[in-house]
Amino acid sequence: MNPDQREHAEREQASRILPSPPWPEPAPGRVEARRAHLLGEINRQTRSRPFRTPLRVRRSWGLALGTAAVAGASIVVLGLGSGSPAAPGPVRPASAASVQLLERAALAAAETPHAKIRSGQYTYAKTVGHTSVLSETKAGDMELLREDEGMEEWTSVDGSEQTLQRKNGNDVLVPGTPGRGSLNSPTYTFLDALPTDPEALLKLIRDDAEKNHGDGSDSTTGPDQEAFVTIGDLLRTGGAPPDTTAALYRAAALIPGVDVVPEAVDAAGRHGIAVARTHDGERIEWIFDRNTARFLGERTVLVEDSAWGNSGAVVTSVALIGSGIVDEAGLST
């Protein structure tokens, strides 16, 4: 199948699995510009050297890839965006169906009223879900456990106050203050200052990913996968301004290997359609409401049998069930 036939087939697939968009399609010039960018990224990616993933801890309410010793047992937590060593191969551009869905999500986000933010306010996010834990007992047996990741979180819009987390009815102030914020610990002010041009935004995210996941590093994740994970983390905060959220969706459409999963269920039991990227036997899915293109949550699904489970198992899943701007930490929207 040549490229034109493949694109035609993908567009037919998109028309079957996606409802008609209530907004106009992106301009042809924008599509062509994204296509040229994608092809350039693929050429660069295929020249990259193999990566190996280091152990690391991510933000996102305790989802992490790491090891710890607890009561004589070894515990490994599987987080969104983890992976095992594997040599990269050629990666196709984002599918037509995924680009269409991400554009619908971007247009829906851009229609959201831009809130007037003032100092002293907080972004609020409420999540439900779980992460998987492999525990090695004293006897040497491996046990797969599921840990609750339900939480409420309040982050100072300008980073001047400590972040408040509420889990299982217990309130904890996160040590230190976010300050201006970063891609791994964003504040509203930080997100509002990000470029809203999708190519510029993706370059900023990829440049940050290159530091720890690019050529010459020990990472197997690679900048493309890390960029996808980072954007997912930012979306899951629920605290980005509408223009920034729209730009994040459009930036994700520029990442090679992104595709659509026609049916997905979030941690709150809501059915939707997902934008996904597969890496090292794991598929990270961003789940959207099929009708409104509103972001619902994220999950990681095994596509190969591994120590974490059989192919098809959902090993992590976090749903965003509440978000907004509040005047005080501890208040909900």
The answer to whether 181 touches 187, Cβ cutoff 8 Å, is yes
Question: Which position has the token pair 């501890």?
Answer: 330
Statement: residue 82 has pLDDT above 60: no
User: Residue 40 pLDDT more than 60?
Assistant: no
Expressed in angstroms, the distance from the first to the final Cα of the chain is 51
Candidates 262, 259, 265; CA nearest to 283 is 259
Average pLDDT (291-315) is 94
pTM reported for the whole predicted model: 0.76
Residue with tokens 């037509």: 96
For the chain, the structural domain boundaries read 3-46+85-129+149-326
Q: What does the block give as tokens for 41?
A: 């990224």
* Side chain identity, residue 172: V
Q: H/E/C letters for each residue in 47-116?
A: CCCCECCCCECCCCCCCCEEEEEECCEEEEEECCCCCCCECCCCCCCCCHHHHHHHHHHHHHHHCCCCCC
Which tens digits make up the pLDDT trace of 41-73?
Answer: 444 433 332 222 222 223 333 333 333 333 334
Look at residue 222 in the predicted model and tell me its pLDDT.
83
Q: List beta partners, residue 274.
A: 261, 287
Alpha-carbon dihedral angle through residues 111, 116, 120, 122, given to the nearest 10 degrees: -10
Other residues' Cβ atoms within 10 Å of the Cβ of residue 210: 17
pLDDT on residue 211:
82
Residue 205 clears pLDDT 70, i.e. is over it:
yes
CB contact at 8 A, 45 and 256? yes
Contact 3, 96 (CB under 8 A): no
170-173 and 259-265 beta bridge pairing? unpaired
Which residue did the predictor score with more confidence, 220 or 317?
317
With tokens 């720890």, the residue in question is: 212
pLDDT of amino acid 139: 81
Which pLDDT value is given to residue 138? 81
Other Cβ atoms within 10 Å of 99 Cβ, number: 27
Alpha-carbon distance 40 to 198, whole Å? 15
Mean pLDDT of the chain: 80
Q: Which residues contact 198 (CB under 8 A, 6 or more apart)?
A: 34, 247, 250, 251, 253, 254
pLDDT digits (tens, 9 = 90+) for 157-202: 999 999 999 999 999 999 999 999 999 999 999 999 999 999 999 9
pLDDT band at 6 (very low <50, low <70, confident <90, very high): low
Q: Of all residues in the chain, what percent carry a pLDDT higher than 70?
A: 70
What are the beta bridge partners of residue 129? 318
